[in-house]
């Protein structure tokens, strides 16, 4: 049976590299997409969000903050602006980052400050959501 090879890299490091993957589920800028073996070649931008990798009976979650996903000849390559495994999320730091970003937005600094704060708030919200979910009983990570 056909399987996928998945590699996820950022500018700093290789986050993930594995074979025999059954499915990849990613947040594209136009919605969620599922990649199965024998998928047509594809290049698409990614939105900040969860990336799920299914292998056998297990599923692993990672947080991806933008980048691109390429599918070609059974390989899924993700070039992420930033990424981390959900078990690497420091929930307290993510909640503090969210609080600081909300404070910055409330104080209405410059347009540049607001744009940076909105991006930081989006990243922190994803980290808090996924980091909190993996701590609850019955979570998929």
Q: What are phi and psi of 39, to 5 degrees?
A: -65, 145
Domain limits, the chain = 4-86, 90-133
> Residue 133 and residue 16: Cα distance in Å, rounded?
21
CATH architecture of 4-86: Sandwich (2.60)
Q: What are phi and psi of 81, to 5 degrees?
A: -60, -45
The overall pTM is greater than 0.85 = no
> Residue 53 and residue 69: Cα distance in Å, rounded?
13
Please list the pLDDT of the chain residue by residue as tens digits (141 residues).
799 999 999 999 999 999 999 999 999 999 999 999 999 999 999 998 899 999 999 999 999 988 999 999 999 999 999 888 877 777 777 778 778 777 777 776 666 667 777 777 677 777 777 776 654 444 443
For residue 58, count CB atoms less than 10 angstroms from its CB and return exposed for 0-12, middle for 13-18, buried for 19 or more. exposed
Q: What are phi and psi of 93, to 5 degrees?
A: -65, -40
């Amino acid at each position: 049976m056909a399987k996928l090879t998945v590699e996820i890299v950022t500018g700093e490091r290789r986050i993930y590299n594995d074979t025999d993957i059954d499915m990849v589920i990613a947040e594209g800028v136009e919605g969620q997409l599922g990649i199965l073996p024998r998928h047509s070649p594809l290049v698409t931008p990614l939105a900040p969000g969860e990336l799920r990798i299914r292998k056998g009976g297990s599923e692993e979650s990672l947080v991806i903050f933008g980048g691109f996903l390429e599918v070609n000849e059974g390989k899924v390559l993700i070039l992420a602006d930033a990424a981390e495994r959900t078990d690497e999320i420091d929930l307290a730091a993510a909640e503090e980052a969210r609080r600081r970003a909300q404070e910055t937005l409330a104080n209405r600094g410059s347009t540049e400050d607001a744009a940076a704060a909105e991006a930081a708030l989006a990243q922190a919200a994803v980290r808090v959501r996924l980091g909190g979910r993996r701590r609850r009983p019955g979570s998929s990570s």
